[in-house]
Amino acid sequence: MNAIASGLKQAVRERPWVWGGTLTGFVVVYYLGLLATMLVRFGNIPNYVTVYNWPRNVWHILTSTPSLSDAVGIVSEEWLLEIGYMNYDYGNGISEWAMNVIPPKLFIILIVAALVASFVVLLMRPKKSACAAGPRTNAVAASVSGGAALVGLSSATLSWVVCCATPTWVVSLAMMGMSTSLALWLEPLGDVMTVGGFLLLVIPVCLLARRRTVPAGDGSATFSTQTA
Amino acid sequence: MCTDTYTAGIIVKELGLLDQQLAELAKTEKYKDATFNVRWADYSSGGPITNQMLANKLNIGVMGDYPLIVNGAKFQETESLRTLYVAGTGYNLKGSGNAVVVPVSSSIYKFEELRGKEISVPVGSAAWGMTLKALQDAGIPSSEITIKNQSPAVGAANIATSKIDAHADFCPWSELMEFRGTGRKIYDGSETTIPYLHGVVVRQELAREYPEVVIAFLKAVIDAGDWVREDPMRAAENLEKWTGVEKEVQYLYFSKGGHLTLEPTIKEKWVDALKFNHGVLAREQQVPPLDFNEWITDTYIRAAYKEKSLDYEKDLADIYDPEVENADLPLEIWHAKDGIKTYATIGEFLKAVAEFRTVAQKLNATYVYDKATGLKLFGKMAFYVQGKDGAMTAFLRKQDADAYAGTIGGKVIGFEEAVGMTTG
């Protein structure tokens, strides 16, 4: 464990700007990507933004919900930001679709971004020592990409009026054309996808980090065997 | 947006009916030092209302039958929170309010003709439940029809441009499409014979701690219904200003003989309908179980009736069946300048339309009643059967008109032809 932490620390310290830039870029690209998906799917440019007082709302929930486990569940659905499209063709307007920023989901995306950023800096050759053998880049990249995609999908917070306007990851499946019944049936799999996605992210990062601290020729062989 | 929620929402808000009740409450010992801060929120569907209620940001929610069930079930899924279904807001006994609409130029006239076609519907809504029931009744397996999930506004736009074969929706979308001349109903929710209703849910802790506030709210709901019944045209005109939905469509719902019966009692039939709807949701969307006995209570609405010296038992027993109640209602023309004009027979009604047209007088809308169901409909959307003696009968669906024409040896014609015939 120490070897992993030390390898990771070393790689991040060597390239803090690359790490920070990748982390920030991933989060920004992720949410812009969600917005772009809606934009392409529906062909409407967002026409409203609502910022919610998240801290106040969370405090209100925590102090007014008798059961802590209930409160935690409700807080996890609290919105911080809503960007969407309001349709004014009929009546005073209907929020047809929206992308929501929900802090607990944002936190998960930040962890994914941190892992992806770590992976990027770990892939780079250490500045102070020459590494003899490179890892199987394609395999680990596929694992990390797959993991990020899985967690990204299961953490998507889109809402659509046809799905009762409740933000959930399966709304993105429904919007992509999957039958809503099937999409809603898949909803409970979200947690499994998140855990699976994190495993695909964490394992390569740990192996790469450990490799940094292992003499050349030793760690690379171990790594190749495990990821092949 | 949904017309059935207005008497517990926009009307109560705009007329200050709750404020009046709360002012009365403030005169009582318990509330003499209380400050009431009422915050209203408007959502396009029930989902966000339930989320806001869970977060204790809303204490009272008003929504349609399917979202109500989701609300009750989601609360019962928690350890410490519950809602109570305390009253209805309005109903249609047969389920009218939901409907399937086709583009106005479509050659489809029957639900059965949708076999092999594409139909869009907001999944999870009452209209979706109606569509599933209609498919089941028509014996159309899901493999023979494509159901697309579509929001009301997008569905209406697709109907207007004939991009979809049919669209199913809840009130008042299908009537909006008819009024704007883009869509035509081929299936009315009344054919399912499952009542369509909306209701009020409150957080249990509010009801327990401040039952007088819940009762005050329900008294305001009763007052809102009275205000509509007192002058439906005034109500329709005001509702257009408040909601943006055309007054002529509002009138179809809120006038005498309209789609909506404004009455808040909780009838056994409603409970049965809600149980049926829960079954549909449980099958299709894995909605949690719902203990109806724990959820539904008539304590508060009974108290509201008592405080207003109204007879709850009488209203509870009274069920408005359009087929019976609307049979003798006069037909109506909404004259742009003179308001509502009534006519005893379809012949007189059509003749009046023709005469107004000859002098280029503007008519906002015309209303007739479907012979088969008693439902009120736009005159321009009805099918007319002309008997051998020249007498006219109006129908919502072409197949009903065809069948009736067959039995009396009559002829099925459209509105324009029917109006034309009166001028000879």
The arithmetic mean of pLDDT across residues B86-93, rounded, is 92
Percentage of chain B exceeding pLDDT 90: 67
- The whole-chain average pLDDT of chain A stands at 82
- Nearest partner of B64 among B39, B36, B85, B37, judged by Cα: B85
Q: What is the per-residue pLDDT for B125? A: 74
Do the chains contact at A90 and B46, CB–CB below 8 Å? Answer: no
Q: Does A76 touch chain B (CB under 8 A)?
A: no
Which chain B residues are within 8 Å of A69, Cβ to Cβ? 79
- Closest-CA distance, A104 to chain B, in angstroms, reads 16
What is the predicted pLDDT for the residue at A155? 84
pLDDT bucket at B4, cuts 50 / 70 / 90 = confident
Query: How far apart are the C-alpha atoms of B260 and B307, rounded to whole Å?
Result: 25
Interface of B with A in 166-225 (CB under 8 A): 173, 176
Per DSSP, B121 falls in state E
Q: Hey, is the C-beta of B152 within 8 angstroms of any chain A C-beta?
A: yes
pLDDT in tens, B170-189: 888 888 899 999 999 999 88
d(CA A218, CA A92) in angstroms, rounded, equals 68
| Residue B230: partners with Cβ closer than 8 Å, 6 or more residues away | none
Note whether B45 contacts A65, CB cutoff 8 Å: no
**So what's the pLDDT on residue A165?**
47
> Lowest mean pLDDT: which of A128-132, B126-130, B158-162?
A128-132
CB pairs under 8 A between A and B: 113
CA–CA separation, B30 and A118 (whole Å): 62
Nearest to A91 among B48, B56, B244 (CB): B244
Local confidence band at A91 (pLDDT 50, 70, 90 cut-offs): low
Closest-CA residue in chain A for B55? Answer: A61
Round to whole Å and give the CA distance between B357 and B342.
17
Q: How far is A77 from chain B (nearest CA, A)?
A: 8
CA B339/CA B332 separation, integer angstroms:
10
Determine the pLDDT at residue A219. 43
- Supply A221's token pair: 């062989």
Which chain A residues touch B243 with a CB distance below 8 Å? 91-92
| Percent of chain A whose pLDDT exceeds 70 | 82
What is d(CA B184, CA B178) in angstroms, rounded to the nearest whole number?
6
A63 shares contact with chain B (CB less than 8 Å): no
pLDDT at residue A200, rounded to an integer: 92
Average pLDDT, chain B: 91
Chain B CB within 8 Å of residue A91 CB: yes
Task: Check pLDDT > 70 for residue A218.
Answer: no
Burial of A93 from C-beta contacts in 10 A (0-12 / 13-18 / 19+)? middle
* pLDDT: which is higher, A94 or B223: B223
Q: Which residue of A has its CA nearest to B245?
A: A91
pLDDT tens string B69-85 = 989 999 999 999 999 99
Taking 70 as the threshold, does the pLDDT of residue A59 lie above it? yes
Confidence (pTM): 0.82
Taking the Cβ of residue B153 and every Cβ of chain A, the question of whether any pair is shorter than 8 Å is answered with yes
Other residues' Cβ atoms within 10 Å of the Cβ of residue A76:
11
Looking at the predicted structure, is the pLDDT value of residue A227 above 50? no
The per-residue pLDDT for B333 is: 96
B76, B78, B79, B85 alpha-carbon torsion, rounded to 10° = -30
Chain A residues within 8 A of B150 when measuring between CB atoms: 162
**pLDDT greater than 60 at residue B294:** yes
